[in-house]
Structure 1
């Protein structure tokens, strides 16, 4: 029982409310103490958390717990319930981190269909405030997963933006302090600022539009001016998003520490890493030197580099401020995209940019190697950086064109990417970049 409680605490600290939000933490802890958590949910949580345990006898059981979770799910597959939706999400996450993207998509697909069958997140008359909010958060978790998993595996989205009439999640502290017998009320959602997860959902909507833009570019469906117009519109959406954020949720060291003191430091970091990642994706095509000059190309290229730098700096800071470190799985892919933009600067930027760029890349690489200790599939993400470097090296004057390969690199994080078997002769700048990337082949250089 002590091990269970410890692993559930680790899960709630390091994972929950970052890539997904499925439970009311006080209720989950009470259910663990009462041995009332469904086996599949308990084993899934233990598998996700065990890798972070300092006890080798526990951390070595990660795959054992994973197998128990899959077996438990199969035995209860026909249970049309909220708990089985939560279980499908957790097992799907486990499949993803173990490098099984097809199974990940399968479990997520089951979760989507179950949610539609039971009419999630519509509350029942007997639901209290906690049950209503848990259903709402589970629904928005599915929305977030749909945006990420559809991009990662290049499959159609299952949940439409037309479903956005549901309330956004309430502030996390208010939710945590609700009692199980507290009656549901519309007042919880009126005249109230959103929780961190509410703001994450708003970003995920913009992310979906950025995906669509990249796909249109890859398919040749847009000319340069049309692409720039759509980019401009999405840039305005991101700007309006930042303007909407309350001052206490804007990123600053003070706000980070304030959120950490409330137990929300890691979720606060997740929100801002997501913002800078989506912005980097939006502007990434403008790093393409083969693109014909358009009015805002230079500005958008500069913005891409800016957001990649901001992502790197926030990620590094998260590991320096207590209770803020970003260790959930998808941070690996976001860090790879940030690193790719930094590699571009290393290859094509100004001489005075190189020292700080190399330093940030080293910081990113140190965290990638740390993530790889916990999440096996991060190894594939790291390999994508070497492939990206090879693509860049094919021409030191003109980088890649925005084609299907680049879309795969930016969005399809769960799929392998085409390798390039040979490398052209390296220029001096290329050797500098190659030496920096080689750090990922020599992990003993870091203490992580």
Structure 2
């Protein structure tokens, strides 16, 4: 935890140290203390943290190894059914199990390897966070959870993650096997309905409103609340992204519909990032935000290139400027943001060279969307840009740049 959090410290003792370097010593000590032979929950938790540290430094192989060990130990222990002495320990195991299931989906897709865990239908969803935080080990199993507390933030993340699994699989299959248009459209329609159903079935207290964000922030859960919608909006832009190319070519009527949905998801993703920065206790400064914001930024580039409505072009330009400022701030904290910035500039350069083909959902694009911690092979060279990490490099020169 210290290795991950040291970069945020305001202590004078570390003020002269690069925030991206502050955690290295702690990470090495954690690696030294890790006992791979200790088949326990503690080892699972340590592996998850070390995996998170590895990915922040742009090392997806090390991340994958640590997560694989965590998943395998969870299977050996049959973690959700492990004998325990209290409801607290049982819920910790359940939450850890579902967290590993979610990690397994995006981590395995990021390195293009088979998943390790299969969701178990007999494992209950995580309970409401406030109810969980109110539990004590002295209660044993003599705890009653009210029905209104059944829905939880983590449980909604689990439901969403199942849809992400299908979206990733579709994009990969379509790029590798060249699925016919009818099959792709059928899959997209099905997944679109699943996303819509998830949103419709949400209880009112978890919906994306400023009031709910502020309420969860007051409970210390604001960042978790924002994370749900970062996931929802990102999964939507991932699902509908392929239609940006069709829409720019004016090929089909359904392309316009799904391209608009992609733009809506990308725009809402940007907006909730901005809102999270305005509500205390909701700011999202972890490295994965950089990846989803880069994808959302490429959608704004599409609007700059092909949108006919001047107001939409202005909105896209404003979002692109804000996103760039936000990404620059994240880059000061996380080494892996170098890859994100490189990706954004490489994509922009591809658009400058061939706007008509740059949004095509080919293998390069799938890698761009999924393999967030690795550099993608350049479609073009951006060596002609004096400062590749500048708004001028993106063809934008705002009258003034204000950090979010």
Same-fold status (TM-score > 0.5) = yes
- Contact 1:224-1:294 at 8 Å conserved across structures: no
What does 1:74-93 align with in structure 2 at a 5 Å threshold? 76-93=35-52
1:319 lines up with 2:280 in the alignment = no
The range that moved more, 335-344 or 179-188, is 179-188
SS in structure 2 of the partner of residue 51 of structure 1: helix
- Contact 1:362-1:436 at 8 Å conserved across structures: no
Structure 1: 5+ residue stretches without partners: 1-44, 427-432
- Contact 2:345-2:393 at 8 Å conserved across structures: no
Match of residue 107 from structure 2: 149
- Contact 1:147-1:204 at 8 Å conserved across structures: yes
Match of residue 214 from structure 2: 257
Please, which of 361, 366, 369 is the counterpart of residue 402 of structure 1? 361
- Contact 2:126-2:152 at 8 Å conserved across structures: yes
Q: TM-score, normalised by structure 1?
A: 0.82
The alpha-carbon distance between structure 1 residues 354 and 274, as it changes in their structure 2 partners (threshold 3 A), is same
What does 1:281-320 align with in structure 2 at a 5 Å threshold? 281-289=238-246, 293-320=251-278
Deviations 1:21-78 (A, max 9, x none): xxxxxxxxxxxxxxxxxxxxxxxx11111111101424744111111111111xx110
Q: TM-score, normalised by structure 2?
A: 0.91
Please, which of 328, 338, 348 is the counterpart of residue 306 of structure 2? 348
Match of residue 207 from structure 1: 164
Match of residue 40 from structure 1: none
Match of residue 139 from structure 1: 97
Match of residue 67 from structure 1: 28
Match of residue 115 from structure 1: 74
Match of residue 183 from structure 1: 140
State the distance in 2 between where 1:189 and 1:200 align. 21
SS in structure 1 of the partner of residue 79 of structure 2: coil
- Contact 2:304-2:317 at 8 Å conserved across structures: yes
- Contact 2:350-2:379 at 8 Å conserved across structures: yes
- Contact 1:85-1:111 at 8 Å conserved across structures: yes
State the distance in 1 between where 2:296 and 2:321 align. 12
The Cα of 1:295 is off from its aligned counterpart by 4.6
State the distance in 1 between where 2:348 and 2:122 align. 43
What does 1:345-424 align with in structure 2 at a 5 Å threshold? 345-352=303-310, 353-422=312-381
The alpha-carbon distance between structure 1 residues 438 and 112, as it changes in their structure 2 partners (threshold 3 A), is farther
State the distance in 2 between where 1:189 and 1:147 align. 31
Please identify runs of 4+ aligned residues in structure 1 that moved more than 3 A.
Answer: 58-61, 185-192, 289-295, 396-400, 420-423, 433-436, 444-448
The Cα of 1:439 is off from its aligned counterpart by 7.2
CA RMSD of aligned residues (A): 2.6
State the distance in 1 between where 2:123 and 2:29 align. 35
Match of residue 16 from structure 1: none
Deviations 1:179-237 (A, max 9, x none): 12222369549674321010001000000000011011102341111101100000000
The alpha-carbon distance between structure 1 residues 292 and 365, as it changes in their structure 2 partners (threshold 3 A), is closer
